[in-house]
Homo-oligomer: A and B are copies of this chain.
């Protein structure tokens, strides 16, 4: 995905191309699982004066046009990532707070079951599993 695609997608929905939007998209792509704060920090390293509220508003737009998505990794802020990356599950350890990524295929059967039994169409990108990771489960 290149600069051009951002501009095009924005225009298609009546939005305008701005430097801030490019900076935020770049930051989301560079950092992975970053929250609004992290993104502001990254953006600020490249251009001064960008405001946090712009980050929030921009993430909302980028999500709407389908270039980024977010998950809730438990604690505070949401974690944003580029939709250009292959989808993956998040395994969050409640003890050490580490986040492991896993291929979405692991959930294929589960997702199919939810569709069959509840007519529920799962957003796998947004699937976060909480529990104890390999290292921590032994400490119990």
**Interface residue ranges, A against B (CB under 8 Å):** 72, 74, 91, 93-94, 100, 102, 106-107, 109-110, 113-114, 117-123, 126-134, 137
Contacts and interface: CB of A to CB of B under 8 A. Distances in A.
Contact of A121 (B117, B119, B128, B137): B137
Contacts of A137: 119, 121
Given A72-B72, A91-B114, A120 B132 contact: yes
A130 B126 contact: yes
A114 to B, nearest CB: 7
Nearest to A94: B123
A130 B91 CA distance: 15
Contacts of A94: 123, 126
Given A109-B109, A118-B133, A118-B134, 14 more contacts: A72-B72, A72-B74, A91-B114, A93-B120, A102-B118, A106-B110, A106-B114, A114-B131, A121-B131, A122-B131, A123-B130, A123-B132, A126-B130, A127-B129
A31 B98 CA distance: 32
